[in-house]
Structure 1
Amino acid sequence: MIKVLLFDLSRTLLFPKDINYKGELNKLHKELSTSANYNFLDHFYLDEEILIYLSDFKNKCNLCIFTSGSIQNAPEIRSRLDEVFERIYSAEEIGFGKKDMESYKFITEDLKVEPREILFVDDSVDNVDTAKSAGLNAITYTSFIKLKEDLEAVLPSN
């Protein structure tokens, strides 16, 4: 049984407003934040539709984020993330990246669950493969519609 939904942040929940930008969101945020006129929400947005949808799962399982950098700490989004997610893990903070199986061991132990009780959602196939190798259930995020189908296939309905 799935007890934890563990989500990537960048390009899963948080997106660049510039649809042509293909680089890392943490890097873009760091570069832009040096500007005096920088406004986070001019460059990024949280997918509210996904956040509202995920909120409905709060009574069924724990909702957590596993992200690579520190963009989740931007004040413009942090309070909204904290409303939906119980815990936010950062590879920078735990010392293991998403391509390191130790990161999933750390998260599993911290949450006091078995790896098979976590469903990890990430837009990177490599990260999904590593999570699977660590014993987690994992799916690759491609769209909200596909995410809903995948989650409804593995989680009990209301």
Structure 2
Amino acid sequence: MIKAIITDFSHVLLFARDKTYQGSINDLYAEKVTEHNFDFWSVFALNETLFDLYKAVGADIPVYIFTGRTVQNDPAILSKLQEAFADIFSAEDMNLSKKETSTYKMLCETIDLPPGSVLYIDDKQAHVDIAKEAGLQAFQHISNGVTIQKLDKLGIRN
């Protein structure tokens, strides 16, 4: 039984408004944040469908964000995320790597749950595979439809 969800942030919940942009969301943020009159929402778009779903699921089980770096700390989005998620973890802030099984085990220890009861969702299959090696249940976010279907099959979605 799933007792918590840990989701990636970039390319799952946050995207560049420029649909052709395929690079790192954090790199784009680092480039744009220094520009005069930077407007977060003119550069980035929140996946409102998945955000609302996670917020609803969060009424029953905790949902956490685990991201590589720190774009989520921008004041334009941070308070919205804090209202919807049990906690936000950054690999960079925790001095961890998403490429290590020990990272996912440590996250489970931090939220005080055994790995097998935690579902991890990421857009990168390599991270999904590493989370599975650490004992978590995991799948790759390909689209909202696929993610919602997989959550339904697991009996998680409201």
- TM-score for both structures, normalised by structure 2: 0.96
Q: Give the AA of the match of 1:42.
A: S
1:108–1:32 distance in 2 versus 1, CA, 3 Å: same
Indicate yes or no: 2:122 matched with 1:152.
no
Task: Write the mapping of 1:41-52 to structure 2, written as runs, cut at 5 A.
Answer: 41-52=41-52
Which deviations, in whole Å up to 9, do the C-alpha atoms of 1:65-96 show, x marking residues without a partner? 00000001011111111111011010001111
Q: How many aligned positions are there?
A: 158
Q: Is the 8 A contact 1:94 1:103 kept in 2?
A: no
Aligned pair 1:100/2:123, yes or no?
Answer: no
Q: State the 1:60 CA deviation.
A: 2.2
Letter of the 2:132 counterpart: K
Of stretches 46-55 and 2-11 in structure 1, the one that deviates more from structure 2 is 46-55
Shift in Å, 1:157: 6.0
Partner of 2:112: 112
Q: How does 1:80-95 map to 2 (within 5 A)?
A: 80-95=80-95
Moved runs in structure 1, 4+ residues, more than 3 A? Answer: none
Distance between the aligned counterparts of 1:80 and 1:133, measured in 2? 32
- Aligned to 1:18, the other structure's residue is in SS state coil
1:117-156 alignment, distance < 5 Å: 117-156=117-156
For structure 1, the residue ranges without an aligned partner over 5 or more in a row are none
Q: Cα gap change, 1:110/1:39 in structure 2, threshold over 3 Å: closer, same or farther?
A: same
What is the deviation of 1:45? 1.1
Q: What is the letter of the counterpart of residue 155 of structure 1?
A: G
Amino acid across the alignment from 1:139 = F
1:70 aligns with 2:99: no
Q: CA deviation at 1:54?
A: 1.6
What is the CA RMSD across the aligned residues, in angstroms? 1.1
Matched with 2:29 is: 29
What is the aligned partner in structure 2 of residue 17 from structure 1? 17
Q: Secondary structure at the match of 2:149?
A: helix
Residue pair 2:148, 2:157 contacting (<8 A) in 1 also = no
* Identity over aligned pairs, percent: 35
Deviation of 1:104 (Å): 0.7
The TM-score normalised by the length of structure 1 is: 0.96
**SS in structure 2 opposite 1:89?**
strand
Q: Unaligned stretches of 5+ in structure 2?
A: none
Seen in structure 2, the aligned counterparts of structure 1 residues 125 and 157 have a Cα distance that, compared at 3 Å, is closer
For 2:8 and 2:156, how far apart are their aligned partners in 1?
22
